[in-house]
A = this chain, B = another copy of it.
């Protein structure tokens, strides 16, 4: 119902987390995504617990959830480490996104309400202006792009799909964007692709929507591949 309340940027699990473990989880997730806790580093439970003034028990529950989101890896009796990012894993994520968001676009073309579509059109138009003004200030790739995709996923109305993309994959992807410094000069092209896709949704053409979304993500992936191979 209140899709608008779920801000894409501030995607904390609850708007205001009640339990200590919840807040701790949000804090740690942010710290990991933004690289404050370096990727690949070991996590010492006693130390982290002291730093955040919580008991080890609560910390452990938080770490458990981070593990479920694949932000940390745990081995019995050996402790937890923040995941190490790799080129290969990033490609894998794009492949999964292509499949899932393609389906999301298909369903969105069927299930989005007229008002949702209008809002999405307004959002896209706003992006267009920002690109003109700021001349592709990397804002687009980083936040605007996620915004747009987020809405389409929500528009699919498929809770399973929404959960997988917005909980499991979204944060991993953001982590890569943060730490691999992925800004692109592809703003204009991405914007155009979003436009084509939106047209397909307006026309209620599921087949075309899926096709265009998959092409869009593939082309975004190729962009990342090129960028990373330059290093």
Q: How far is the CA of A197 from the CA of B111 in the complex (A)?
A: 30
> Smallest Cβ distance from A26 to chain B, in angstroms?
14
Contact of A76 among B22, B96, B163, B168 (CB under 8 A): B22
Chain B residues whose CB sits within 8 angstroms of the CB of A93 once the complex forms:
160
The answer to whether B158 touches A92, judged by C-beta atoms less than 8 angstroms apart, is: yes
Interface assignment of A123: CB less than 8 Å from any CB of chain B: no
The answer to whether B65 touches A68, judged by C-beta atoms less than 8 angstroms apart, is: yes
Q: How far is the CA of A77 from the CA of B14 in the complex (A)?
A: 14
Interface assignment of A175: CB less than 8 Å from any CB of chain B: no
The answer to whether A160 touches B61, judged by C-beta atoms less than 8 angstroms apart, is: no
Interface assignment of A18: CB less than 8 Å from any CB of chain B: yes
Contact of A95 among B18, B92, B158 (CB under 8 A): B158
Which residues of chain A from 136 to 170 have a CB within 8 Å of any chain B CB? 158-161, 163-164, 168-169
Flag the segment in A29-37, A42-50, A100-108, A112-120 that touches B. Answer: A100-108
The answer to whether B76 touches A18, judged by C-beta atoms less than 8 angstroms apart, is: yes
Interface assignment of A38: CB less than 8 Å from any CB of chain B: no
Q: How far is the CA of A100 from the CA of B103 in the complex (A)?
A: 9
Given A22-B76, A64-B65, answer yes or no on A160-B100 (Cβ-Cβ < 8 Å).
Answer: no
Which residues of chain A from 1 to 55 have a CB within 8 Å of any chain B CB? 18-19, 22
Given A64-B65, A168-B164, answer yes or no on A158-B76 (Cβ-Cβ < 8 Å).
Answer: no
Most buried by B among A18, A89, A159: A159
The answer to whether B96 touches A158, judged by C-beta atoms less than 8 angstroms apart, is: yes
